[in-house]
Amino acid sequence: MKNEMTTLIENIKKDYFDWTTRCSDVRGLDALTETNKMMIAEFNEKLTYKVGTKYIKVFTEGGSVWGFVVNTENDKKFRKGDILKAAGYAAPARNAARGNIVDGGYVINWTGPLYL
């Protein structure tokens, strides 16, 4: 799961970079302003996760919860690696998975897993 979580974190970082360059109407790191570069570096530095017994909680800047990843084989509804949207700070929304980090091919935003 560690490799899959690393890939998820890198995909979130990439989406933030892509969003920043689209919003700045620039292409590539060299064309970014110093402020943009600082914002990207700060976002990347503060993007982290905490492994629990049931879920892996992904955090963004300021400790906001990005989402959850199922970390157990013993869930009646979800498979290990399923990406879940946050219902709140401490719990995921258990209505549907937004993809699976083990299977790959998921679509996410830097702001969180996609809505249904």
**The overall pTM is greater than 0.75:** yes
Check whether 61 has a pLDDT greater than 90: no
* Distance in angstroms (rounded) separating the CA atoms of residues 110 and 70: 19
Can you give the residue ranges of every domain in the chain? 2-113
Confidence of residue 94 (pLDDT cuts 50, 70, 90): very high
Angle at 74 between CA 73 and CA 75, to 5 degrees: 100
* Token pair belonging to 69: 């990843």
* Distance in angstroms (rounded) separating the CA atoms of residues 13 and 94: 25
